[in-house]
Structure 1
Amino acid sequence: MVSSVNVLFSAAQTVLIVYAHQSAGSFNAAVKDAAVDALKKQGCNVLVSDLYEMKFKATATEEDITGAVKNPEHFCYGNETMLAWQEGRLASDIVDEHKKLKEADLVIFQFPMYWFSVPAIMKGWMDRVLTLGFAYTLEKRYSEGIFRDKKAMLSFTTGSHETMFSSNGINGDMNVTLWPIQNGVLNYCGFQVLAPQIFWAPTHLSSEAREGLLEGWCARLQGLLNEAPLTFPPVDIFDEEEGFQLKPEVREKHAESHFGLTVGHHLEKPLPPHNQMKAGV
């Protein structure tokens, strides 16, 4: 007879939280801690990469490779790190993160939004850890990506109110802001991208309101692993021989649609609402 403990262990999923905030007393830290607690209670194995605590190196340089580089006169980071990965010559901090990524079923990026993007230390994690060959190749990307059996999501705080990130707001549409990260990094590597968790301007809220945000996050975490991902176009609707343009039959099919396909594939039409914010919209 198999015990319930063994069943739980065999079904357990691993979640990697890549966390970037300098202060353990921050709201981002509280969000991270809430996720660790809630996911562990569900039986998940939770790994945390606390980038500032780790003093993670943000710059992609020759130092990421042990031994000689192939072409020192014209150093190409992508090609050189791919070769180093194949030969087991990558820096130890990259190798450690590769091990975590291999284990992870879900990756949560937890951060405060800096200049409409991720903090530099987290961008450095993406630059260095999502190594060519390990995380993507020209043949294995987007819907055919290496990480297509894994999920990923952004969870972050903003300094501005939600109204300021609307299509009529001074910051512009948050869907547009998220496209380069969610499509250009996560979807590119094949991840199934879950809708982001956005904490709008928590520094402008009361402590009671911030507690309410945390309660909402904890409620979402209860079903997070079963959520449907955002929708991105599959590779096979693009014609490689025509420079990866949408196939004519796809364009014809959507000719009468009021909205474009996605934020990026808008077909010179209005952007589909909430395309980078909610699944199934």
Structure 2
Amino acid sequence: MSCCVGEPVPRRVLLVSAHPEPRSFHAALRATAVEELESQGCIVTVSDLYAMRFKATVDHSDFPAPDTHEPLNVSLAQRRSWKDGSLAADIQTELNHLLEADLLLLMFPLWWFGMPAILKGWIDRVFLSGVVYSRSAVFELGRLAGKTALVAVTTGAPSQAYGPNSLNGEMNDILMPLQRGVLGFTGMQVLPPFVGYQVPYVGDEGRADILAEWRLYLRGMNDLVPLVMPRLADHGDALGVGVRAN
């Protein structure tokens, strides 16, 4: 995806990486993404969650100035801590990166039909209520509208294990909780995912082919059609309130 001045494409990229092994093929995919995007003129920030030892659980320590008179209500605590500037430092740093980014790139191995727990924890802690969404500020009214998101995953199973009538089902169905329930829900335009299949078993030549495909994918993102997401305007009754931004 070209990031040249004058073109309607991301200038700032937040790449969030979740893999425990720094010598992994995932690391090679990440390095390729950074190299390719920077060659296009993008400014890339990398959050390598395992290298950062990012805390993956929401708890009282996320909110240094809690209301000790009430049980912890995470959504309300997030709103209050954002408003009074008392968020834990690691959350504040990652939230700043997210809000500054034009493109959010999430990279991870597919584990048990989902993302590694550390990445789920990053979302739980960083996608703050009242900041990236609110009760009726979702989907086309989400606070992250105008941003683009992309998911890049690797699998142990071959491509034949995914798709219509396959053993594992459609990849977009597997990724639906993330692509629709997080990225689309908060207003982002979500591009079709990139998938590197059967990574542990295809050998060096096969992995080199995946890296080449990844580079071409990144160069051709302008031609991709975003995934279709629901519109809140068509489902206002689902919230029990009229549609409004708040």
- Aligned to 1:141, which of 138, 146, 169? 138
Structure 1 7/194 Cα, relative in aligned 2: closer, same or farther at 3 Å? Answer: closer
Residue 198 of structure 2 aligns with which residue? 201
Is the counterpart of residue 107 in structure 1 residue 104 in structure 2?
yes
Where do 5+ consecutive residues of structure 1 fail to align?
1-5, 245-281
Is the counterpart of residue 181 in structure 1 residue 186 in structure 2?
no
Range with bigger deviation, 206-215 or 123-132 = 206-215
Give SS of 2:175's match: helix
Residue 278 of structure 1 aligns with which residue? none
Is the counterpart of residue 129 in structure 1 residue 126 in structure 2?
yes
1:7 positional shift: 5.3
- Aligned to 1:20, which of 18, 21, 28? 18
- Output the amino acid matched with 1:37: E
Greater Rg by CA: 1
Residue 51 of structure 1 aligns with which residue? 49
- Aligned to 2:81, which of 81, 84, 105? 84
1:22 positional shift: 1.3
Range with bigger deviation, 174-183 or 57-66 = 174-183
Contact 2:10 2:102 in 1 (8 A): no
Give the length in aligned residue pairs: 236
Contact 2:12 2:101 in 1 (8 A): yes
1:205 positional shift: 0.2
Q: Residue deviations 1:12-62, cap 9 Å, x none?
A: 700110001111211111110000000000010000000001100000001
1:81 positional shift: 1.5
Residue 3 of structure 1 aligns with which residue? none
Residue 59 of structure 2 aligns with which residue? 61
State the TM-score, normalizing by the size of structure 1.
0.79
Structure 1 125/225 Cα, relative in aligned 2: closer, same or farther at 3 Å? Answer: farther
Contact 1:12 1:45 in 2 (8 A): no
Q: Residue deviations 1:100-156, cap 9 Å, x none?
A: 112100010010011111100000000000010111101211111111110111101
1:240 positional shift: 2.0
Where do 5+ consecutive residues of structure 2 fail to align?
242-246
Residue 94 of structure 1 aligns with which residue? 91
Contact 2:106 2:151 in 1 (8 A): yes
| C-alpha distance in structure 2 between counterparts of 1:16 and 1:225, whole Å | 18
State the TM-score, normalizing by the size of structure 2.
0.90
Contact 2:19 2:109 in 1 (8 A): yes
Runs of 4+ residues over 6 Å off in structure 1: none
- Output the amino acid matched with 1:182: Q
- Output the amino acid matched with 2:149: A
Structure 1 47/76 Cα, relative in aligned 2: closer, same or farther at 3 Å? Answer: same
Identity, % of aligned pairs? Answer: 37
| C-alpha distance in structure 1 between counterparts of 2:216 and 2:127, whole Å | 31
Specify which structure has the bigger relative contact order, considering alpha-carbon pairs within 8 angstroms and separated by 6 or more residues: 2
1:239 positional shift: 3.9
Q: CA RMSD in A?
A: 2.0
Contact 2:136 2:239 in 1 (8 A): no
Is the counterpart of residue 163 in structure 1 residue 188 in structure 2?
no
- Aligned to 2:208, which of 207, 211, 226? 211
| C-alpha distance in structure 2 between counterparts of 1:231 and 1:168, whole Å | 22
Contact 1:12 1:43 in 2 (8 A): no
- Output the amino acid matched with 1:44: C
1:172 positional shift: 2.6
